[in-house]
Amino acid sequence: MDRGWFIIVALLITLSSLIFWVLLTTVILRRQSQMKRRRSESLGNLVRESVIAGKFLGTDRLGGEDLLAYLMEWHDHSQTVEIPEPIRREIREFIGSGWIMERIVSRLNSRSLGRRVEGLNLCELLDGETQVSLLSEALAREKKLFLRFKIVYLLCLTGLPGAVDPIVRSMGESVELYRRKVLSMLRDFLSLLDEWASPDWSRLSPEGRRVLILASRTGMKEWYHPFLTAMSQSEDETLSGEAAEVLLDVYSSGDIYRQMMDSQYHSRRVRQSTVYRLFKSKDLPDRGESARFLQSEELYPSVVQALSEVIREKPRLIPEIFERYRDAGTEREKTGYARVLATRIRYFIMRLKTDDSAEIRDLLHDVITLKLSSPIINFLNLNKNMAVENLLLDTIRPHLGNNEYFLRQCQLYLDRTLQEKLGLPEAPAYLNRKKIQLTTGDRRYMFLIALATVSVPFIIFFALHGAHLPVMSGQEKLVTFLFMYHRLFAFYTISINLVYLFFMFQSWRGITEKQQSWESAGKKFLYANGLLPSVSILAPAYNESQTIVQSVYSLLSLDYPDSELIIINDGSGDNTLQNLIEQFQLRVIDYTVTGELVTSPVRGVYRNDSIPNLLVIDKENGGKADALNTGLNVARGDFICCIDSDSLLEPEALTRMMFQTLTREERTVAIGGNIMPVNG
């Protein structure tokens, strides 16, 4: 037999064997799954009988692995229903008096992920002291990140102060991501931290001090205040920032603010946080203090941000800010107040009709000069009041000749009718957004790639048989080429199927590991404070009036602890926006889009205070990418989920995806999911 055909036959036998192995493995795994489900149902019935009888039944009927599986059923039962204390006591006595404790320790030390998880779950049935001892050892050994988080959570649930020390030690041995997540989880257990706290904080590691700073949020001990004061002056910016945050939250007073503003002892981060909280803590600081902060290069952004949020929450303060703007002693102070008032510029535009004063025109001039003209353009596009329109056009007309940025914005985004009133020419071609076209060079390059691909068999044929071609007849050449081609094709087909089988095996391993990790986590643990990152869901909608309401209800019902839903109505010509407004009782709000991505104009932002995680943006049509960019400008989540407005997500889809951020110590940049069509 020709050597080439021998290789093909060998590959074919290998492929057949692998396919048979895959089929056999599938059958075996299915049978095992069915047997496991039947055993679980039987043991679940025994648990229910025990609860009804008020005693721990069935241990005399079970043995070996069945007995451990029975205890696992008790653990699963305890996640949804509280086990009566008499039965819990019997379970503890039963576990402590036999070989089961050895099995639990063996599972905690196992290399198998599933067995380690079983050991952790069985630990929850033990008394608190024993749990702390076993879990502390497990935490020191564990390498899987999400299991370390779970062990920390189980240690906290014991409620014993001794559980905090192993948590602190684990923080010192891990990356900053782990430390931040653990600190977030510990916020739910401040009373436990308060019991653990000791005034002898000098002996603590930096991680221990971070935990102690968190414990001091209770304010229950007199020495917390001097400890926080000392930590806020630490050279470690992380410690100083966290201590200053607690001081400002728990011990806020005029003295604290003045102390935190002392640049000699505190970092820039502390001073910025302090001035931000100062402006948010009361109506307004006095004018002299505000002017001094606005003059500071490092504090200026914090003052502007705080004041913008203050007048959004308390519109009654707008006249006071405007008065300070008029009376500003320096250009920097005036510019700062102008940036704040730009967030509520609609209020001043409407005043033009009754109060066409120079001060309001000056404010509009400053807002345009600061490149904050988007709210003015949006107002003009939506306005129906001709008197206000004429006054506003007269106000902005002088800026078109000497402000190139404002001119370009008006050419791009202002309604064409208004552009004609202002005498603006059409936007230059370079400002228009066009699709990228294929060039002649691109087409030539693609043709050459296709030609090279088709030529491969002929190149191989000439390389193998080129020396014999002159003495071969036409028929011999054709037959030789066909035999060679078929052999190559057979080799290619079998080889690529082997590759597919290899990838299928790798996928099976990956899916099995992910599913095992997901089942091991448990949703109760995943919902711990700050463990999963926040997610902003962006859903562009264009002429979706028939399905938009149902889609929003579906997305709002996702089972995830921290998410916001942003619907972007991309200039729909039907009742998409109106249906949303009526169904969810939305109202337009003053919301300044602060992102840096240039998009089509936003016409309005809508919200219902009783549905805080829903935001609807109405904008001019610009395409799906433009709508997503608008959503990115307002999104506040740690991660962004971009979907179509008529798409459906499984209730646990976000939780399953974001759980992957807990499985590795490296920072997760992006996560993908499976997309499939759903009909009916």
CA distance 73 to 126: 15
pTM: 0.73
**Helix, strand, coil tally for the chain in percent (to 5):** 65, 5, 30
Contact 342, 370 (CB under 8 A): yes
CA distance 105 to 99: 10
Query: Which pLDDT belongs to residue 669?
Result: 85
Per-residue confidence (pLDDT) for residue 356, from 0 to 100: 63
436-485 residue pLDDT tens: 567 888 888 999 999 888 888 888 888 878 788 887 888 888 888 887 87
Q: CA nearest 351: which of 338, 340, 364, 339?
A: 364
Closest to 349 measured CA to CA, from 362, 335, 364: 364
Rounded distance, CA 649 to CA 641, Å?
11
CA end-to-end span of the chain: 56
| pLDDT per position as a tens digit, 403-430 | 888 888 888 778 888 888 888 887 665 4
Alpha-carbon torsion (137, 143, 146, 149), positive or negative: positive
Q: DSSP state, 457?
A: H
Q: Which helix (H) or strand (E) holds 36?
A: helix 3-53
Residue 560 CA to residue 571 CA, distance in Å, equals 30
Q: What is the pLDDT of residue 434?
A: 46
**Spatial distance between the Cα atoms of 4 and 365, rounded to a whole number of angstroms:** 82
Of 233, 228, 232, nearest to 218 by C-alpha is 228
Q: In this predicted structure, what is the pLDDT of residue 433? A: 47
Phi, psi torsion values for 641, nearest 5 degrees: -115, 115
User: And the tokens for 557?
Assistant: 């019902």
212 Cβ neighbours under 8 A, 6+ residues apart: 193, 197, 201, 204, 227
* pLDDT < 50 positions in the chain: 430-434
Cα–Cα distance measured from residue 134 to residue 45, given in angstroms and rounded to the nearest whole number: 30
How far apart CA 579 and CA 652 sit, in angstroms, is: 27
